[in-house]
Structure 1
Amino acid sequence: MGQSSSTDQISPAQREAETLAASTGALPTLREAFSRLSDPETGLIPLDSIRKCFALVIENPSSGTSGTLAPKEFPVLLAHVGSAIVDQFFLVEKAGLTWVEFLRGYTKCCGRTVASTSLNNLFKLVFVSANEKAGLPVKLQVDPSEDDDGKLSGSLLPADLLNLLWACWTLSWDSRNLRSSTSKGSLGRPDVDHLVLSAVESCAESADKLNFWDAKTSGLDIELPVSKVLTWALKTVPYLADCLAQFVNSRLGYLTSHQGKWEDLYFPVHGISPAEVSNTGLLTCGRAWAISLTLRDNLSEEISKACFLGESEDINESLLYRSSLHGKGLNRFWSHVEGYLGPVIMLIDACESNNVERRLTIGALTHQGFENKDIFYGSSGNLYALGPVFHVFAASGKEKNFIYSHLHPAVRVYDPHPKPVGIAFGGSIGNERVFMDEDFSKVTLRHHAVDKTYQHGSLFPNQGFLPTEMSVLEVEIWGLGGKRAKDVQTSYKKREEIFTEQRRKVNNRGPLNLKTLLFCNFFLRKFLNDAPFFYVFLQVDLKAFGDWEDSPEKMMMDMMADPNRVRRQDR
């Protein structure tokens, strides 16, 4: 079975299955999991055992009275997701699950495949298998085909899509909960209305007539063709199906990492709380999770910390700037983000000047920190529409005008063509796709036609061709570079504090006496050959430097002793 090591006893089917499983890097874990789940006498995994391994047990479900209301079918649907995983991916015979079929089921669920196939499998799992097991009405059908994958046909309601998103959220929450050393408490519900409304805007024929600022997903009776929903998911949340693979891997990993009989292992029981999991300003749980579904690797992991209970403290350490906390304006903003060289995400909450209820939130993800430049810069990034609907606009590859952040120069000189002062994303100077002024009071949004850096799309519903000016309510900057980027910024700020203290002492120094002026005049005329000059006599704090050997005074004395001696700077 899974423990066989002799190549003479391995059949071609088993060798193929093990090769595919090994390509995922999980073959040792699968061997251990099969050994613990299988019956020693038959060498097969009983059906009840594999179902218990992936079971999701809901205790004391609550529909909630605030935030996004959960459809009453959601707890029932969630209780059958585990058995649906077994029935869809694992071919279990009457006697039990063989080693080869166990590997094939894992590869089909978690193996390397195209995103469209993974999303198709996810939709069939939730909307067909789980719904049928729960006895819920199913509006989707699977069209059989020769490749045994099958295509979906039919339509969905917004409430159905809400169930899917919360089911994926639950799988992600469970996988992180099992990997953590401490339990994160009850299962909260994120507000994902912006994702559902995004699908409605993209897939519904009557979306132009809908007021997205007042729309509630629980009350929408709009049919969304499943083919269009799959296309929307592939474009907007391409890594949504990864939630299923993470869940399966975490359950098997939890099984193999604990000693004793696996029947005695306790899988944490989930309770559904009525409130959103966490709310960290503009970067709410639902928004952070939606952004993470568009990213890979470290960036997805960093921003996912804002999604789950028990990790809010970690993400709060990544907050670089919040206008309501640190004050509005480019100078205050710059004092908190300068020196941070890692990836950052900026969120802007704004509203129309004469209609506070029409609020929108946009975001910009950059893979580098902000720099004070009067030109566009950057190598990659994404623009996001975060509310009331969610959309992602990745780099188009045509231009590289990702970021523009320009402050007033320290020494102002006459400039016949001054560059705008503020922060911008996309477009060109004077014609930016997103531009926020230096006071953080106004933000101007332009049509995507002016921008060749980011992909086309509206930043808010029914955006017209004319520039739209809105009042800024809140601005946030979150660092996604981890501890290393934060340590680099801390070191940078310490150096700046030393130089600031030196400048302060210079400014506080009283008038120079005549004897000092004569000495400086004699010294400069002697060693600079009577060249015209302007000089400033500085008082230097030796404590800021290492010792006398590093001080500017010693360098001056050495020059006076022997000005012709050849010197080499220590590096």
Structure 2
Amino acid sequence: MGASSSTDNKELSEKREIESLAASTGALPLLQRSFSKLADAHTNTVSFQSFKKSFTLSYKTTTCEGDKTVPDSFPRLLEHLGPSLVDLFFVPEKGGGLSWVEFARGYVKCCGRMSASMSYNTLLRVFHLTSQNAGFSSKLEFESDEADCKINGSVSTVELVMFLWMCWTMSWDGRSSRSTDLFLPDISHLVMSALVSCTESGASLDVWDSDVFGLELELPVGKFLTWALTTIPSLTECLSHFCNARLQHCLNAEDGSGPSKSAGGDDSASKTCENTLLTCGRAWAISLTSKNTLSEEILSSCFPCNGDEPNENLLYRSYHHGKGMNRLWDNVQGYHAPILLIVSASGGVEHEATSSERKWVIGAILQQGFENRDTFCGSSGNLFSISPVFHAFSSSGKEKNFAYSHLHPSGRVYDANPKPVGIGFGGTQGNERIFIDEDFAKITIRHHAVDKTYQPGSLFPNQGYLPVEALVSDVEAWALGGKAAKEVQEAYKKREELFTDQRRKIDLKTFTNWEDSPEKMMMDMMGNPNAPAREER
């Protein structure tokens, strides 16, 4: 009896510990509801095979942004993703079914709170096992089954593309309303970023014209993890997102309230951002750079309700609204929340002793929106090299010259030392790291040595040390403050329109007879100043 009591206490203690770890993730209520729905009433366990089946992905069609070709091997990889994940973490000790403790423990192993490096180890382990089950060779080697074990080997370019697309699919699964079609983003800029950072031959790559599927390069896994942890740290959240979405789907399926599979409307991501600078792939890359509420706001730009309607998050686009600070200001004034500014430009770029016209895209996040001031402002910010190679440059903490946006003074008062009119980021006044002139015709990019506000790095490939001037092709401003900030801006615009209408109205009651009005007397005097003198004579 004493042994039985000791065993019960041990099981109870283990149950409390697992539930405490699951509660720290915020998913304990979801786990409890899904387990009660899936568990057999007699055995109080979840069938391992049925649970495995509920995690299986199946899509009728798979398309890619920009009409890029999707390898035939990728759909086969996705078929083994869910079952491989369940095999890796949700393992019944006695076979047959998963008990509550095994069910919760599997979730904690997969999605529990852990360090960033351990999260990436877990994600790579999922990819490695999925690749093996799909019949692909992998050069990754794990020294043990522990989450913090050392990983050896390398990742090929094709494997990197598959890995990133796998992570996107896990995030897409919960946002696509159970779509039967899968849409993949163009991630060439992310792949190029990894190749340039992790391989010796990356510096000599022609990043504008290279096809990532045609490159046969190997990335040492150590360097790859360093790049991933610094460039896209929130990528690992796709794992918990996928598991939560699958568990929620199990609940909806049991309740009969699951969303219907409909091809109509599910391709909204492919329709949206087709003609904008902020494509799905670029938005996803930017969203992966930080773990905050802005990430979800940026990514939501790729998933509108209706792809045929204009995206409400797009505050300004020079292609539609016209170029210039005044046109921008008409659309962003009153929006006091984070704004993502994206600029596309073209200019001469030197590469291997040759110079040619190249297009590149950069971006910046203004945490408080635009302010019409003749000095730098803002409390924090980020710069982005978006295309053709993606890099993120956060605050360095040394200076606070985050953003500069200045219009012409309305009074046109003479100023012996006029401030520059335009938009700038980093550096100092007159020597900004990025500066866009008031007409949005020219952008000047300076070397990071002039800037102590943002982290160092090139904003486009082969930037060099000298200032580079380029022609601005398009400018976009995207709202990242959610519905509340947009409502505040709408209220501000309505007040401004009301004041403008009031100033334009003329109160007729203030006028009596025109012949007796001061205005007529002044007009008569200006028209014929000698007339009153002749009348007196």
TM interval, shorter chain, is 0.7 to 0.9
Counterpart for residue 154 of structure 1: 153
Partner Cα separation in structure 2 for residue 270 and residue 517 of structure 1: 72
Superposition deviation, residue 323 in structure 1: 0.5
Query: Does structure 2 retain, via aligned residues, the 8 Å contact 1:190–1:277?
Result: no
Counterpart for residue 191 of structure 1: 186
Aligned pairs, number: 502
Counterpart for residue 235 of structure 1: 230
Please state if 1:252 is matched with 2:254. no
Counterpart for residue 217 of structure 1: 212
Partner Cα separation in structure 1 for residue 181 and residue 14 of structure 2: 43
Structure 1, unpaired ranges of 5+: 1-6, 519-571
Report 1:291-370 matches (<5 A): 291-308=286-303, 310=305, 312=307, 316-352=311-347, 358-370=358-370
Counterpart for residue 5 of structure 2: none
Query: Does structure 2 retain, via aligned residues, the 8 Å contact 1:67–1:276?
Result: no
Q: 1:477 to 1:507 in 2, by over 3 A?
A: farther
Partner Cα separation in structure 1 for residue 121 and residue 262 of structure 2: 28
Q: 1:184 to 1:267 in 2, by over 3 A?
A: closer
Partner Cα separation in structure 2 for residue 460 and residue 119 of structure 1: 28
TM-score under structure 2 normalisation? 0.86
Counterpart for residue 429 of structure 1: 429
Superposition deviation, residue 494 in structure 1: 2.1
- Paired AA for residue 359 in structure 1: K
Report 1:134-533 matches (<5 A): 134-144=134-144, 147=146, 149-178=148-177, 186-260=181-255, 276=270, 278=272, 279-308=274-303, 310=305, 312=307, 316-352=311-347, 358-505=358-505, 517=518
Partner Cα separation in structure 2 for residue 52 and residue 458 of structure 1: 47
Superposition deviation, residue 217 in structure 1: 0.4
Superposition deviation, residue 98 in structure 1: 2.2
SS of the equivalent of 1:347 reads: strand
Superposition deviation, residue 32 in structure 1: 2.1
Partner Cα separation in structure 2 for residue 85 and residue 149 of structure 1: 18
Superposition deviation, residue 267 in structure 1: 9.2
Query: Does structure 1 retain, via aligned residues, the 8 Å contact 2:403–2:425?
Result: yes
Superposition deviation, residue 413 in structure 1: 2.8
SS of the equivalent of 2:293 reads: helix
Partner Cα separation in structure 2 for residue 453 and residue 123 of structure 1: 34
SS of the equivalent of 2:415 reads: coil
Superposition deviation, residue 23 in structure 1: 1.7
Q: Which moved more, 1:24-33 or 1:135-144?
A: 24-33
SS of the equivalent of 1:433 reads: strand
Query: Does structure 2 retain, via aligned residues, the 8 Å contact 1:399–1:453?
Result: yes
Partner Cα separation in structure 1 for residue 486 and residue 435 of structure 2: 27
Superposition deviation, residue 13 in structure 1: 1.3
**Which digits, 9 at most, give the CA deviation of each residue in 1:103-156, with x for residues without a partner?**
111111111111111111111111x100111111111111127x5542221111
Query: Does structure 2 retain, via aligned residues, the 8 Å contact 1:339–1:488?
Result: yes
Counterpart for residue 25 of structure 1: 26
Partner Cα separation in structure 2 for residue 213 and residue 300 of structure 1: 27
SS of the equivalent of 1:316 reads: coil
Counterpart for residue 110 of structure 1: 111
Counterpart for residue 15 of structure 2: 14
Q: 1:276 to 1:499 in 2, by over 3 A?
A: closer
Partner Cα separation in structure 2 for residue 298 and residue 67 of structure 1: 31
Query: Does structure 2 retain, via aligned residues, the 8 Å contact 1:67–1:191?
Result: no
Partner Cα separation in structure 2 for residue 111 and residue 266 of structure 1: 28
SS of the equivalent of 2:174 reads: helix
Superposition deviation, residue 277 in structure 1: 6.1
Partner Cα separation in structure 1 for residue 10 and residue 142 of structure 2: 38
Q: 1:444 to 1:510 in 2, by over 3 A?
A: farther
Partner Cα separation in structure 1 for residue 518 and residue 206 of structure 2: 74
Query: Does structure 1 retain, via aligned residues, the 8 Å contact 2:426–2:452?
Result: yes
- Paired AA for residue 40 in structure 2: D
Q: 1:137 to 1:292 in 2, by over 3 A?
A: same
**Which digits, 9 at most, give the CA deviation of each residue in 1:333-361, with x for residues without a partner?**
11111111111100000001698851000
Partner Cα separation in structure 1 for residue 113 and residue 260 of structure 2: 27
Q: 1:462 to 1:423 in 2, by over 3 A?
A: same
TM-score under structure 1 normalisation? 0.81
Q: Which moved more, 1:486-495 or 1:351-360?
A: 351-360
Superposition deviation, residue 371 in structure 1: 1.0
Percent identity, aligned pairs only? Answer: 50
- Paired AA for residue 460 in structure 1: F
Counterpart for residue 529 of structure 2: none
Structure 2, unpaired ranges of 5+: 1-7, 350-354, 520-537
Counterpart for residue 34 of structure 1: 35
Partner Cα separation in structure 1 for residue 48 and residue 156 of structure 2: 33
Superposition deviation, residue 312 in structure 1: 4.5
- Paired AA for residue 288 in structure 1: A
Query: Does structure 1 retain, via aligned residues, the 8 Å contact 2:66–2:186?
Result: no
Q: 1:514 to 1:429 in 2, by over 3 A?
A: farther
Counterpart for residue 77 of structure 1: 77
Q: 1:310 to 1:269 in 2, by over 3 A?
A: closer
Partner Cα separation in structure 2 for residue 45 and residue 295 of structure 1: 36
- Paired AA for residue 106 in structure 2: G
Partner Cα separation in structure 2 for residue 29 and residue 498 of structure 1: 49
Partner Cα separation in structure 1 for residue 263 and residue 378 of structure 2: 43
Superposition deviation, residue 296 in structure 1: 3.4
**Which digits, 9 at most, give the CA deviation of each residue in 1:357-412, with x for residues without a partner?**
51000011111121110000001111111100111111111111111001111122
Q: 1:12 to 1:261 in 2, by over 3 A?
A: farther
